[in-house]
Structure 1
Amino acid sequence: MLPKKILLSVAGILAGALLLSACSSGDDGGSPAGGAPASGSASPSATPVAVTFEPAGGTGVNPATPIVVKAANGKLLDVTVTNTAKGKTVAGKLADDGSSWTSSEPLGYGATYKIVAHAQGANGQPIEQDNQISTIAPKKQANANLIPAPAAVASTGVGVGQPIVFSFGKVAVKNKAAVEKALTVESTPKQDGSWYWIDDSNVHYRPKEYWKAGTTLKVSAKIYGVDFGGGVFGAEDRTETYKVHDSWIAKADGNSEQMQIFHNGAMVKSMPISMGKDATPTHLGAHVISDKQANYTMDSCTYGVCPPDPKAYRSNEKFSERISNDGEFVHENPNSVGQQGSSNVSHGCINLNDANAQWFFQNMGLGDVVEVTNSGGPQLPVWDLYGDWTKSWADWQAGSAIK
């Protein structure tokens, strides 16, 4: 048996060793020997992957809203979005680091989509996460009809006075500001321009001054998914390009009974005319040519003036170019040749002799301008097809729905 003094010394040594051991373990947060996590604590590698969906789910989803799937504390392996009725999958792109997936094509209206995401956590554990959404079903869809039709002017281009018109047919647009924000006109070279709502279904765009000759116009309507109001939504996006041809401007003066033609700013021809008589005067202001026909039957009934009204007429005319929707044309009229250059005798049209009418027809086209002065008539209304230029720039800007 060891002496008592020696036993006490050994006990003291053992106690000191235990005390040092306790201090050492407290320095690293209390981990037990061997590095295993303490009871009640979690290692980052043990946290499972979290998958989230945008939109979160449910009904009434706008089909133009992208589907976004995200992974936290792990990565996505793949995502499949399927139209449950058609079985068609939606295209999308997975981020290089697997943190997200985003759809790259719009969804359809009134459809249900199942979303299946496979992901892997930082702990290596794979999971599958599912979701389902349904998109809005509009009462009606609105198309963005362009005037002039791009195909009709693809080879000729348009004149410097041509407004860009979006017509939404019989749809009465209630959310005009939302729709207008989806419409753009990019001009090269750049010119300031603005939209003007002619009525609830038609909106026009024009620059502050006539387009510059040679301008390219890129016109877009990004209306898919846009709420027009009243249960109506945009049917599809549309982008078109117009080219502005040389500047052709005719100046018709009721005092001189002459019309001067300017090509790119230089006067190239002057011709005698006869405009509307006192009972049916030609409108004042800048008119824009909207149509041209080598042979055309003019019938006042087309704008509501029918027999037995003394203002009614029906006649076949040659080399006719429409300058308003209420029966005003520039055309050949052999019956007024004797008055051309001296008095106004027409129903509101600008009459020319055969040679001048042919020349005018060959050189002037859609979007070109006919400015009428001293006719004795009222101002061309802004709603009369292309009465856009009769508005001052300030008044035109006031017609925008975006304030």
Structure 2
Amino acid sequence: MLAAAGLALSACSSGGGGGHDASGPSRAPAGKHSPSPSPKPTGAPVHVSLLEGDGNTYGVGMPIIVYFNKAITDAAAFEKAAKVTVNGQPAGGAWYFQHSGRSDQALEGHYRPEKYWPGHAKIEMKLPVKGLSAGPGLVFDDSLTLSIATGPANVSAVDCSAEKMVVTSDGKTVKTLPTSCGAAKTPTYYGTKVVMQKGEADPKTGKMRPDGTVNMVSDNPADPYNLMVPWSVRITNSGEYVHSASWNGGNIGRRSTSNGCTNLNVDDAKWFYGFAQVGDVVTYKNTGGNEMREWDGYGDWNVPWSTWQQGGSVKSAH
């Protein structure tokens, strides 16, 4: 399972020298001037790393995420060098830069196309940025490549007023699941979310807990809890999950009573856990809450395309 670094504490919450020529220097033909080579930029090194791993398969909502250990101030050289293709053709996407949710990184750049990636596709990125300028006094210190794939186009739509989740794959409805969304005082965020993680590792052993179990904790004096919740699929950094809720069976399919998560009956949650891929899309409407922000996990699709193309915190060169 892909585990995103820097995740918030798990809890339902509301709304990555050349040699010398022995014959001596050559001379330019008479009447012509030899072009002077552009000086190579110098400065503090900026290291680039990736969230995704080569050979992995993701859902169609997964952005390509690049981490920078220092905040770049000029993305022109980076954007010009970066080449992303889908099945060998230019992806036509754009980069958006924002403060990193990881404590060990200063900035992250997200790349996505205007619409979701196609399902069952091969996505490749070449990022030959080593030695290029990242802004005054900053130089990229490495180059990267990436080769990943998308699986089936799984898109689930949750309507919190109807208390149901319609699950589709490659455009066909697979299942309709009853839900219980966030209560009025702890509403679920609306908008487009992306599966970030399935289950979690036990911090004591580093091994994944069985049955997709997540330890969900709240220190809110008005509603404290410390629960081990099986079949948990994370969809926001702030703590929203789609998960089993054996304690809430009387409300699932009838009314919204959760602390912001999407409650499912146990069998349905187990099925959805097995079905879901990291990068799958889950949309929400009629939640009574605020819109999910782009920095709260992989909220990239909530940014209008015209705004996305402007580049976020580092303005785009396009």
- Residue 146 (structure 1) aligned with residue 146 (structure 2): no
Q: Distance in 1 between matches of 2:185 and 2:274?
A: 31
Name which of 76, 84, 87 aligns with 1:177: 76
Deviation at 1:313, TM superposition (A): 4.2
Deviation at 1:312, TM superposition (A): 5.4
- Report what 2:96 is aligned to: 196
Q: Deviations over 1:151-193 (max 9, x none)?
A: 5xx35x1111111111113x11112223332323111264431
Q: Which has the higher helix share?
A: 1
Deviation at 1:341, TM superposition (A): 0.4
Deviation at 1:138, TM superposition (A): 3.9
Secondary structure, counterpart of 1:178 in structure 2: helix
TM-score, normalised via structure 2 length: 0.78
Q: Distance in 2 between matches of 1:380 and 1:347?
A: 15
Q: Deviations over 1:296-355 (max 9, x none)?
A: 11235xxxxx444x3654321111111010100111111111110011111111111111
Q: 1:365–1:312: structure 2 CA closer, same or farther, 3 Å change rule?
A: farther
Instruction: Name the amino acid aligned to 1:232.
Output: L
Q: Distance in 2 between matches of 1:216 and 1:312?
A: 45
Q: How does 1:253-268 map to 2 (within 5 A)?
A: 253-268=159-174
Name which of 161, 166, 178 aligns with 1:272: 178
Secondary structure, counterpart of 1:269 in structure 2: strand
Secondary structure, counterpart of 1:267 in structure 2: strand
Instruction: Name the amino acid aligned to 1:284.
Output: Y
- Report what 1:31 is aligned to: none
- Residue 240 (structure 1) aligned with residue 146 (structure 2): yes
**Aligned 8 A contact 1:311 1:347 in 2:** no
**Aligned 8 A contact 1:289 1:367 in 2:** yes
Q: Distance in 1 between matches of 2:220 and 2:274?
A: 34
- Residue 160 (structure 1) aligned with residue 60 (structure 2): yes
Q: Deviations over 1:242-285 (max 9, x none)?
A: 10111111111111101110011010101111111112111111
Q: Distance in 2 between matches of 1:356 and 1:319?
A: 9
Q: Which segment drifts farther, 312-321 or 380-389? A: 312-321
Name which of 19, 23, 29 aligns with 1:119: 23
Deviation at 1:117, TM superposition (A): 1.9
- Report what 1:34 is aligned to: none
Deviation at 1:120, TM superposition (A): 8.2
Q: Distance in 2 between matches of 1:362 and 1:254?
A: 23
Name which of 335, 339, 348 aligns with 2:247: 335
Instruction: Name the amino acid aligned to 1:117.
Output: D
Deviation at 1:220, TM superposition (A): 2.2
Answer with 1 or 2: which has the greater Rg: 1
Q: Deviations over 1:116-145 (max 9, x none)?
A: 321289xxxxxxxxxxxx987643x22222
Q: Give unpaired runs (5+ residues) of structure 2.
A: 1-16, 26-38, 100-105, 200-211
Instruction: Name the amino acid aligned to 1:236.
Output: D
Q: Distance in 2 between matches of 1:184 and 1:159?
A: 21
Q: Distance in 1 between matches of 2:88 and 2:303?
A: 23
Instruction: Name the amino acid aligned to 1:116.
Output: H
TM-score, normalised via structure 1 length: 0.62
- Report what 2:192 is aligned to: 286
Name which of 288, 294, 299 aligns with 2:217: 299
Q: Distance in 1 between matches of 2:42 and 2:78?
A: 18
Q: Distance in 2 between matches of 1:135 and 1:369?
A: 43
Q: How does 1:57-136 map to 2 (within 5 A)?
A: 81=17, 115-119=19-23
Q: How does 1:371-382 map to 2 (within 5 A)?
A: 371-382=283-294
Instruction: Name the amino acid aligned to 2:255.
Output: S
Instruction: Name the amino acid aligned to 2:77.
Output: A
- Residue 402 (structure 1) aligned with residue 317 (structure 2): yes
**Aligned 8 A contact 1:299 1:313 in 2:** yes
Q: Give unpaired runs (5+ residues) of structure 1.
A: 1-80, 82-89, 91-114, 122-133, 301-305
May I ask how many residue pairs the two structures share in their alignment?
Answer: 268
